[in-house]
Amino acid sequence: MESLCQSCERLGFRKPTAIQTQSIPYALKGRDIIGLAQTGSGKTAAFVLPVLQALLETPQPFFACVLAPTRELAIQISEQFEALGAEIGLRSAVIVGGVDMVAQAVALSKRPHVVVATPGRLVDHLENTKGFNLKKLRYLVMDEADRLLNMDFGPEIDKILRVLPKEGRRTMLFSATMTSKVAKLQRASLQDPVRIDVTSSSSSAASGLDGDEGKYATVETLCQYYIFLPAKLKDCYFAWLLGNLAGQSMIIFVSTCATAQRLALLSRSLGYGAVPLHGQMPQAQRLSALNKFRAGERKILLATDVASRGLDIPQVDCVLNYDIPGHSKDYVHRVGRTARAGRSGKSISLVTQYDVEQYQRIEQLIGKKLAAYSVDKEQVAALQDRVYEANRQGLLQMKEEAEKKKDRGSNGRKRGARMAMVQGGEDNERLEFEE
């Protein structure tokens, strides 16, 4: 216990958050937990600390497994485990897609105490990596449980649950929002759980269990705005906001990978340091983009919803919704990237004539009306020519990169075909010799 206290002190943890205060005592008693709390409320430490305390009492390999919906969140959770477990020699392994399975199999062969994984890749190893199993697992944690299910990980989670021990295993579910799917998963995987709800509207979480929309609270330190604009001038308003908010760190959420890439190029053409983050990027590039943003080397992160869950980046001043999210609850998670842990922050949503209905659903969900953000429309109009040219250059660059990628793929297939022909010829010669 003393070593964990030292780790908390070293990391600057002075006072527990509400979710930590209410859930950790039950976790130390060995109870299954379902924890509901707003983003930025310290949910990760709420399960990391009890797991580490239990590991100290009965150390063993493959003691705990944590499931996360995205690679970036899995890596962040692992970093939290390693930071808090540094004093006790904790070993952890991150098992996610986009990384060589052989290297991961080697990491698993070292028998880590904690495995942090995305469900799909964990199932791959359970089925294909010789000698790896979780038959003696003591703790299962599902972070951002609603997103795990919304991303269609349900079948993989069912496979994982089937190979885990039912006796002697503690399970914890954590999320910022509650859905009927999570309630179903709770009934399937938890035994007599205690429910910890520290959202500002506990009745809303209860209604979420029945699948109703309910209300999902955002923190009081978050100032939320909207800008109503014509769709054809959306990029001009976007460019104006980049100038208006220059110097502030921003996460800009978009709906598609192509839009993230296009706006990153547009931002750079306009003189603003921006990096994209989306699911079509190789894992190394995704981590590089995230690390540059965290380190402050880039002030603007253009992201799809891959960055909307769980990522703890303390210095985010503003969240900009370039595209209104298709699911209202994703709005709560997006804006939760700012105003974390008691800090202040702001969010701005760009609402075109095509987004009004979805925008109204968001206001209904969070139970408040957003304020209009003040815009100088003359300055916006003056940006049209500059934005048009920057967009044209960006689209040309994207086209060139796509053609280069296509050529590389074509050359690779040709080399593969030539190798197959050579190998086929060798095999034929070998067969003729044997005859």
The three-state secondary structure class of 235 is helix
Over residues 60-71, the mean pLDDT reads: 96
Asked whether the predicted pLDDT for residue 261 surpasses 60, the reply is yes
Q: Which residue has the higher pLDDT, 38 or 5?
A: 5
Query: Would you place residue 188 in the very low, low, confident or very high pLDDT band (cuts 50, 70, 90)?
Result: confident
Q: What is the dihedral of CA 10, 314, 275, 218, to 10 degrees?
A: 150
Tokens of 45: 């430490």
- Calpha distance 333→171 (Å, rounded): 23
Tokens of 71: 């690679």
Are 278 and 263 in contact by the 8 Å Cβ rule? The answer is no
- Looking at residue 231, the DSSP 8-state letter turns out to be G
- Looking at residue 270, the DSSP 8-state letter turns out to be T
pLDDT in tens, 362-379: 999 999 999 999 999 999
Over residues 213-224, the mean pLDDT reads: 76
Within 13 A of 55's CA, how many CA atoms are on the CB side?
A: 28
- Rounded to a whole number of angstroms, the distance between the first and last alpha carbons of the chain is 73
Domains of the chain and any CATH numbers: 2-209 (3.40.50.300), 222-395 (3.40.50.300)
Over residues 6-25, the mean pLDDT reads: 92
Are 149 and 101 in contact by the 8 Å Cβ rule? The answer is no
Q: Which residue has the higher pLDDT, 292 or 308?
A: 292
Are 238 and 263 in contact by the 8 Å Cβ rule? The answer is yes
Q: Which residue has the higher pLDDT, 280 or 209?
A: 280
Write down the pLDDT at residue 415.
57
- Residue 19, amino acid: I
Write down the pLDDT at residue 151.
76
Over residues 196-206, the mean pLDDT reads: 58
For tokens 């139970």, name the residue.
Answer: 367
Cβ atoms within 10 Å of 256's Cβ, excluding its own: 12
Write down the pLDDT at residue 411.
63
Query: Would you place residue 185 in the very low, low, confident or very high pLDDT band (cuts 50, 70, 90)?
Result: confident
Would you call 345 exposed, middle or buried from its count of C-beta atoms within 10 A (0-12, 13-18, 19+)? buried
Query: Would you place residue 91 in the very low, low, confident or very high pLDDT band (cuts 50, 70, 90)?
Result: very high
Q: Which residue has the higher pLDDT, 418 or 23?
A: 23
394: left (phi over 0), alpha (psi -120 to 50) or beta: alpha
Taking Cα atoms as reference points, which of 275, 273, 266, 274 lies closest to residue 239? 266
